[in-house]
């Protein structure tokens, strides 16, 4: 009960014009996305916030309680790190996946996703944990030696100073020479020229396919790392 009261007292309204000015959305699109936000935020409890459980069910259509990938994505959406996603946080995070968002924005988001320990660089162990989680989300299985080979190849190309870590500058350089790594980080549905109506099906189509191809087989994995 106390938790609910706390949520009810929180300030959640943000001016649509301000959100549009800060993101790649128009005011009309922000208003349309509010309808999607309302649907997601009422999956379990209609309190005006998206909980981690609602985030997983709404965007990933998955009711499993434990999901490392969902945890990582949720933390990036939950910029205040308070366990709930407000509408403003939702809009700002989705803006990164807008077709008009720059490669720099997309690359920075992906860097933060793989910086599992929040230490300012990408480590081998964190990447492996993410890859394993993504395979689990896609219900795929790969031999450990293939996963290691994929990660080792990436580090060999991206870790320019050979210290076993990929820092922000190395990541930026790596992505600039391999822009195709970010092509699936765009959700085309977020830029609608006619009907500004969004559905969970539209958004779900990009998760987690922005990191891995949904039609890949076990011999070829397209991981954006």
CATH of the domain at 51: 1.10.238.10
Q: Is the dihedral of CA 91, 97, 103, 109 positive or negative?
A: positive
Does a structural domain hold residue 22? yes
Does a structural domain hold residue 71? yes
Share of the chain above pLDDT 70, in %: 76
Distance separating alpha carbons of residues 159 and 155, to the nearest angstrom: 5
> How large is the angle between the packed helices 144-158 and 124-137, nearest 10 degrees?
130
Q: Measuring CA to CA, how many Å separate 15 from each of 35, 42, 132, 197?
A: 15, 21, 40, 20
Has residue 221 got a pLDDT over 90? Answer: no
Count structural domains, the chain.
1
Where b means 16+ CB within 10 Å and e means fewer, 155-168 reads beebbeeeeebbbe
Does a structural domain hold residue 1? no
**Angle at CA 118, nearest 5°, toward 53 and 40?**
20
The per-residue pLDDT for range 116-154, each reduced to its tens digit, is 989 999 999 988 988 888 787 777 788 899 889 989 999
pLDDT (mean) for 195-201: 64
Query: Whose CA is closest to 171, among 119, 129, 116, 108?
Result: 108
Q: Measuring CA to CA, how many Å separate 51 from each of 85, 125, 209?
A: 7, 28, 22
Does a structural domain hold residue 58? yes
Give the model's pLDDT for residue 131.
85
Does a structural domain hold residue 7? no
Distance separating alpha carbons of residues 95 and 105, to the nearest angstrom: 9
Give the model's pLDDT for residue 213.
38
Residue 156's domain comprises 15-204
Q: What is the mean pLDDT of the chain?
A: 81
Three-class DSSP category at 85: strand
Residues 55 and 64: beta-carbon distance below 8 Å:
no
Q: Please list the residues that pair with 50 across neighbouring strands.
A: 85
The per-residue pLDDT for range 8-60, each reduced to its tens digit, is 445 566 889 999 999 999 999 999 899 889 989 998 999 999 999 999 888 77
Give the model's pLDDT for residue 49.
94
Residues 70 and 62: beta-carbon distance below 8 Å:
yes
Distance separating alpha carbons of residues 50 and 45, to the nearest angstrom: 9
């Amino acid at each position: 009960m106390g938790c609910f009261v706390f949520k009810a007292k929180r300030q959640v309204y943000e001016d649509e014009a301000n959100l549009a000015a800060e993101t790649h959305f128009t005011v009309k699109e922000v208003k349309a996305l509010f309808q999607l936000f309302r649907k997601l935020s009422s999956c379990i409890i209609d309190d005006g916030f998206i909980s981690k459980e609602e985030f997983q069910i709404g965007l990933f259509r998955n009711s499993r309680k434990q999901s490392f990938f969902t945890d990582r994505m949720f933390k990036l959406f939950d910029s205040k790190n308070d366990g709930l996603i407000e509408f403003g946080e939702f809009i700002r995070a989705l803006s990164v996946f807008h077709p008009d968002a720059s490669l720099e924005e997309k690359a920075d988001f992906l860097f933060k996703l793989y910086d599992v320990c929040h230490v300012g660089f990408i480590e081998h162990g964190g990447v492996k944990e993410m890859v394993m989680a993504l395979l689990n989300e896609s219900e795929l299985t790969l031999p450990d030696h293939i996963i290691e080979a994929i990660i080792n190849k990436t580090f060999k190309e991206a870790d320019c100073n050979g210290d076993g870590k990929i820092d922000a500058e190395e990541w930026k350089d790596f992505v600039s020479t391999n822009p195709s790594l970010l092509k699936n980080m765009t959700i085309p549905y977020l830029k609608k020229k006619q009907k500004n109506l969004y559905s969970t099906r539209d958004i779900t189509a990009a998760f987690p396919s922005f990191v891995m191809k949904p039609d890949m087989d076990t011999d070829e994995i397209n991981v954006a790392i």
